[in-house]
Structure 1
Amino acid sequence: MTSTSCMVLILLSVQFSGASCPQGCLCTSDILNCGSLGLDRFPNPLPFTTSVLDLSHNRLTWLAAGSFYGLPRLQTLHMSHNRISLLSPGAFHNITSLRYLDLSSNKLQVVGKYHFQDLQALEVLLMYNNRLTRVESNTLMGLSNLRKVYFSLNQITDFPFFSIRKHSHPSLVTLDLSSNRLFRLPMDDIVLLPVAVQKGLYLHNNSLECDCSLYRMFWHWEQKGYQSVKDYKDNYKCLMYGEPQVSINFMRSLHFFENCTVGKMISLISPKADKVVYEGEQVRLDCTGTLNGEDLSYSWIIPHQENISYLIQNGTLRLNQDGSLDILAAQSVDSGIYQCTAVDNTRMINESREVNLTVVAQHSTEETFNTGYTTLLGCVVTLVLILMYLYLTPCRCGCCKPPPPSPAISSFGENRCNLASIFAAPSTDRLKSKSQSDRHVVFLEPLMAGKNGHPKAAFVVEQPAIEWDTENFTIFRERNDFE
């Protein structure tokens, strides 16, 4: 092996061991500080152990694709106060662990999805004091860990508020759009922002047009004590009739908004509804309330960890035109509180409704128990009715009127009357047909034994024959002749 080859191997080993530090930079175990060196290109080499890299206050003009290749541990990147005007689509490729990115005080004009799509762990993004005029709708897409975003001190005239929702940015608490050129705000999109984002939405020092709906929103936020309005109360100004020369303060010039009914900016909460269904059933959760009209929009917050849009696409959920939400086949994991928000974009009124859904499993043992219980209850009721008829029902039949010839016969007639009135009162036609035939009716005392074990006749009364229902009670018997 030649001396030249040995030297190359030594240099490579030093470079990849992370022991090398770029000229003029300050290096510690995992911090590389190359700030304020007047650099117009990236220093070389960059130790792979770097977790904090400071390249601020230099003369860098653009970031090429793969600029940070070989820095798998990089978590914090400072690049403020440079001259960067262009970001290549793959500039931040392979640094998926980056959490803090400072690109403030540069010359960037447009940012889009492809600039930050690899930074899925990003929590803080500083883009203030650039020359941004547009933020594309997919710029923050996929950055679900974002907590703070700063776009202040730019020239932004429009911002995609609709791209920020609870399921897409659950941790976002600060969105700074102050000191831009926003003229009109999409109120329907801002009202649907998560409450945490509304509390940290900074809109002061913009060229906003004086509008009742805008005034009601700021007034409402101030009443709730949102710091974004409370701390910058004197910086919320608007232009009367869109004229830059006539600027008034939203919170100090109340007489200009006397015709604006601040009471309209209210949030109505419907009573919480409870719903219990069985597994496998289709469930419809209504979003109906007191609001009505054509300019209504709806949003749902579900107890699932999954994205509601994904559940709608795969057929698990279905969102209807009236705002109701269908669960096509309810499962036990669907149990929880569902919250729907209906927004009247014309009157700036929003109404929320909560439904507590409980999905239970079907058990055959429960059905058997319910059926047996119902049968037992029916038997008890029937027995009580029979006893009431036996002991409480008065005699209303005409056969009780003729006086009996003797006390025994009287007792017999009374008993017969009571039984006839309770169990088997015959029809009039059948009584007539029976009275025309010459028959004898014999009442036999039950279990009265005579000689040789035969029943003994107690009384013989010649009466018109009456036909009794003997299906359940055998009391009277008919014979054509008796001797």
Structure 2
Amino acid sequence: MGSMLCIVVISLLVQVSESICPAGCLCPSYIVSCGNLALEKLPLPIPATTWTLELSHNRLTWLGVGTFYGLPRLARLRLAHNLISQLSPGAFQNASALRHLDLSSNKLQVVGRHHFLELTGLEELLLFNNRIARVESNALMGLGRLKHLYLSFNHISDFPFFSIRKHTHPHLLTVDLSSNHMSRLPVEDIALWPASHQRGLFLFNNSLLCDCATYTMLRHWEQKGYESVTDFKDEYRCLLYGDPRAPVRFFRNARFFENCTVGRTLSLVALKANLVVYEGELVKMDCTSSGTGENVSFSWTSPHQEGITQLLQNGSLRLNQDGSLEIPYAKLDDSGVYQCTSLDRIQMLNESREVNVTVVTRQPSEEPFNTGYTTLLGCVVTLVVILMYLYLTPCRCSCCRPPAASPGGSNSREERCTLASIFRAPSSMATSEPMISRKAPSAVDRHVVFLEPLMEEQNGHLKATFTQEQLAQFQWETERLTPAAT
């Protein structure tokens, strides 16, 4: 009885799924096949349980925001052979389960940085046979599970090799850039790829220039037995002296690369130079090259992948005859890595250099002393004032008594100004009548007078002595404080 109930439920589900299948499409199991129906927009309704959606060979022209909303299980999407020329930034929202995306044989022109941002689980991306001329630097940023990328038969002249690293695309096995319009390869960026990435890099049928760096890299791949080179040897060609009428096969005309050695080629990649400038200043970046003369040509790449020719024409940049590049008035947006490449057509040597420019805003002038210097200066000034007070301040002995004849006849001011006189009561108190009762004082009213002796040095030892004036004063004080005889 239970088994019969299960069969009935399954049959009802099949009938329901077939009932919501788009008109003209086939919906076997979890597949919705709507190919070759001349569709100009997405057919509706599409079951939410769809795993594979086939829309190839139709007339779709664009994909809007949220086109595949409501298909959380969609894993394979085929849109080949349509007329799609534009992808909205949110076209693949809520399609994170997508594993295979086929957009080949369409009319796409740019691979933007926001087109595939939501496809974090994508493993295979087919974009071959389009009109793609530019791939933005962050276009593949979120595709951490990507294994196979096909971009052949396009118009790509520059690809962001630097954006692909082992930690950003650990599973990458294939990058097909064959049959494009690339003339120069950033060998130093490709050299940073792991061996598994380099093994699956296809670069044949491009308009490459004949330079030692590219030749050495391809020869190294051939020796390693990489199928991307060994299976397409005759398709790897380069343009001798940059002339499209003189193509040369890399592996069939070794005599043109006799001067290329691995050691020499590796030394051609210079280290990155760092340059920090203020906003509004003149920036000059040198392009070091071992070659000289008219046979050496220079080219620069801006950090934002902009056309360097256009920037030179509108005055934003200046290219000098020695290959150096100048920014007349630096702006914050000019920050980034500028790459220079010099090509010697006679020796067929390619040299590269990178300059990392950082433009900062000029801040107000800093204080001449920071807190540490100010504290140190305060301590020094305080010490000087104390020393001046101790050694340069004249002695003002207001408490000294008028000079009196002494037995020794010494009445000098230096003798009267002792340390004891400095710390005595003010002169007003010393000259005024002592406020002491004339009657005989009691025991508690008695006073003891302390005099500070002068220190003399005798035979290397200090000896306490008293002046005649101190002795006379001591006698006077003693007589004044001694009670009168009755």
> In structure 2, the residue corresponding to 1:77 is in which secondary structure?
strand
Against the structure 1 CA distance between its residues 198 and 292, is the aligned structure 2 distance closer, same or farther, given a 3 Å change threshold? closer
Q: Tell me what 1:295 maps to.
A: 271
- Matches of 1:292 and 1:34, distance apart in 2: 54
Conserved? CA contact 1:72–1:94, under 8 Å: yes
- Matches of 1:155 and 1:126, distance apart in 2: 15
Percent identity, aligned pairs only? 58
Compute the displacement of 1:262 (Å). 4.2
- Matches of 1:259 and 1:237, distance apart in 2: 18
- Matches of 1:131 and 1:239, distance apart in 2: 23
Compute the displacement of 1:79 (Å). 0.2
- Matches of 2:149 and 2:235, distance apart in 1: 20
- Matches of 2:205 and 2:45, distance apart in 1: 43
Q: Does 1:171 align with 2:155?
A: no
Against the structure 1 CA distance between its residues 244 and 89, is the aligned structure 2 distance closer, same or farther, given a 3 Å change threshold? same
> In structure 2, the residue corresponding to 1:121 is in which secondary structure?
coil
- Matches of 2:270 and 2:259, distance apart in 1: 25
Matched residue type, 1:195: A
Aligned counterparts, 1:224-263, within 5 A: 224-262=224-262
> In structure 2, the residue corresponding to 1:259 is in which secondary structure?
coil
Conserved? CA contact 1:96–1:119, under 8 Å: yes
- Matches of 1:87 and 1:170, distance apart in 2: 27
Q: Does 1:46 align with 2:46?
A: yes
Conserved? CA contact 2:188–2:269, under 8 Å: no
RMSD, matched Cα: 2.6
- Matches of 1:193 and 1:74, distance apart in 2: 32
- Matches of 1:65 and 1:100, distance apart in 2: 19
Against the structure 1 CA distance between its residues 151 and 296, is the aligned structure 2 distance closer, same or farther, given a 3 Å change threshold? same
- Matches of 2:193 and 2:75, distance apart in 1: 29
- Matches of 1:144 and 1:154, distance apart in 2: 24
Give the gaps of 5 or more residues in structure 2. Answer: 1-12, 274-340, 343-348, 352-486
- Matches of 1:73 and 1:67, distance apart in 2: 14
CA deviation vs aligned residue, 1:83-137 (integer Å, no higher than 9, x gap) = 0001011111111100000000000000112110010000000000000000000
> In structure 1, the residue corresponding to 2:84 is in which secondary structure?
coil
CA deviation vs aligned residue, 1:30-54 (integer Å, no higher than 9, x gap) = 0000001111111111111110000
Matched residue type, 2:110: V
Against the structure 1 CA distance between its residues 145 and 185, is the aligned structure 2 distance closer, same or farther, given a 3 Å change threshold? same
Against the structure 1 CA distance between its residues 293 and 232, is the aligned structure 2 distance closer, same or farther, given a 3 Å change threshold? closer
- Matches of 2:132 and 2:269, distance apart in 1: 38
> In structure 2, the residue corresponding to 1:113 is in which secondary structure?
coil
Against the structure 1 CA distance between its residues 28 and 142, is the aligned structure 2 distance closer, same or farther, given a 3 Å change threshold? same
Aligned counterparts, 1:212-231, within 5 A: 212-231=212-231
- Matches of 2:155 and 2:147, distance apart in 1: 23
Matched residue type, 2:82: N
> In structure 2, the residue corresponding to 1:26 is in which secondary structure?
coil
Q: Tell me what 1:134 maps to.
A: 134
- Matches of 1:15 and 1:135, distance apart in 2: 45
> In structure 2, the residue corresponding to 1:162 is in which secondary structure?
helix
Matched residue type, 1:130: N
Conserved? CA contact 1:110–1:135, under 8 Å: yes
> In structure 1, the residue corresponding to 2:115 is in which secondary structure?
helix
CA deviation vs aligned residue, 1:17-66 (integer Å, no higher than 9, x gap) = 67411111010110000001111111111111110000000000000111
> In structure 2, the residue corresponding to 1:149 is in which secondary structure?
strand
Q: Tell me what 1:36 maps to.
A: 36
Conserved? CA contact 1:216–1:261, under 8 Å: yes
Compute the displacement of 1:252 (Å). 0.5
Q: Tell me what 1:22 maps to.
A: 22
Q: Tell me what 1:162 maps to.
A: 162
Q: What's the TM-score once normalised by structure 2's chain length?
A: 0.52
Matched residue type, 1:205: N
Q: Tell me what 1:121 maps to.
A: 121
Aligned counterparts, 1:295-314, within 5 A: 295=271
Compute the displacement of 1:16 (Å). 8.7
CA deviation vs aligned residue, 1:456-475 (integer Å, no higher than 9, x gap) = xxxxxxxxxxxxxxxxxxxx
Q: Tell me what 1:149 maps to.
A: 149
Matched residue type, 1:203: L
